[in-house]
Amino acid sequence: MLRTIDISTRTYSDRELRRIVPRGHQSVDAMLDTVRPIVDKLKTEGAAAALEYSEKFDGIRPPHLRVPAELCQEAADALDPDLKKALTSAISRVRAVHEAQKPDDVEVNLAPGATVTQKFIPISRVGLYVPGGNAVYPSSVIMNVVPSQAAGVDTLVVASPPQKDNGGYPHPTVLAVCALLGVDEVWAVGGAQAIGLLAYGDEDFEPVDMITGPGNIFVTAAKRIVRTVVGIDAEAGPTEIAVLADSSADPTQVAYDLISQAEHDVLASSVLITDSAELAEAVDAKISELYTVTLNSDRVAQALTGDQSAIVVTSGLEQSIAVANAYAAEHLEVHTRDAAAVASRIVNAGAIFVGPHAPVPLGDYAAGSNHVLPTSGSARYSSGLSTLTFLKHVDIIDYDGPALEELADDVIRLSQEERLPAHGEAIAARRNK
């Protein structure tokens, strides 16, 4: 079912390895002309335009763009007990991890009377986008809200598309999780219009300082357009999993993990990297056997047979590691002998899942880690969502007179070298004061 790419016969450069498996293609650039008029209209007309676009794109106009708090609480009260238990367990683990991520301020004493302090300050107001579409995403509420709360963000807004089946409000489970997390500002708006309203606001809806959360290509294009106005977390591409495995791996487990990621999107990437031709054949056979029984089998089939999914057969562990680092997967599973040691050699991945008992779905929901991760190879230079995403740092420079005098000649000389003599004069003016 998956195509096989055999690279075991020669050595490849990193540049070549990056091109071995192409990624699912979605052109954000091509969508900008379509999305920009929507964002521009939101900038000038605010909530009225958001309601208009909701009716056009979602097929319903919500009774209130801001969801009444009592509806969120009613949704929480109506949760199935087992589902509520699962959600609260996930919240607890994610909160424990993200509260531990908050850094302490750092003060450096360079000399008597000379200190530089790095102070971490939370973003004041954050908009958290929770998609609708192919699935329901209460987990995305958790993964966005909890780290922002751990950072100490003052106010949070959750925006999620209105739904016909819920009277024009977001999905009840999304509303329920907002209540469980104490989020009291929820907007029934999705797509590019949600991003525009979050960025620009109007007289009744305050704009935010940062927007995070995944979405479709329209959401991504809108985030690109407004990123000069507000901060954004990232431009999320189609989801992806790579499994680095050797002959010790269980073919059934690997097959299920590749299938599970493929059910997200027809452009999702599922890649097996292995030095075992026997495992490659066994996994492919298991995929063909198992995918048909899944709820989303049509979507899975399209994703697994696309160019963005493949089995890469390597010459050995070293080449497998090289392929994994070149590919820089959003999710990387390691199914090898001494998996922890192999995982320690991975430098490019959004998140690394070690061994047979840590599959990607665990991280999607309740491992404690965040599931908003870098895609499209951006794990080579960026990280997933965390508490740090919602913090900015400010350097505080505190020098007294003697400490300044100690450096004065050096600063003056440097200003002269850069042909910015007024910089030096500003230093000299403070001498003997």
- E strands within 123-228? 125-129, 155-160, 186-188, 210-212
Return the structure tokens found at 269. Answer: 């990437």
234 and 330 Cβ atoms separated by less than 8 Å: no
Q: How many CA atoms lie within 13 A of 124 on its CB side?
A: 5
Report the alpha-carbon angle 173-76-190, nearest 5.
Answer: 35
Identify residue 195 by its one-letter amino acid code: I
417 is catalytic: no
Residues 6+ apart with CB under 8 A from 386: 98, 101, 147, 370
330 is catalytic: yes
218 and 31 Cβ atoms separated by less than 8 Å: yes
Identify the active-site residue in 98, 330, 333, 371: 330
313 and 277 Cβ atoms separated by less than 8 Å: yes
Identify the active-site residue in 98, 171, 331, 371: 331
Give just the sign of the alpha carbon dihedral 134, 327, 29, 392. Answer: positive
Q: Whose structure tokens read 């949704």?
A: 75
313 and 5 Cβ atoms separated by less than 8 Å: yes
Return the structure tokens found at 222. Answer: 């809108």
- State the Cα–Cα distance between residues 136 and 424, nearest whole angstrom: 60
| DSSP labels, 206-229 | ---SEEE----HHHHHHHHHHTTT
* Residues labelled catalytic: 330-331
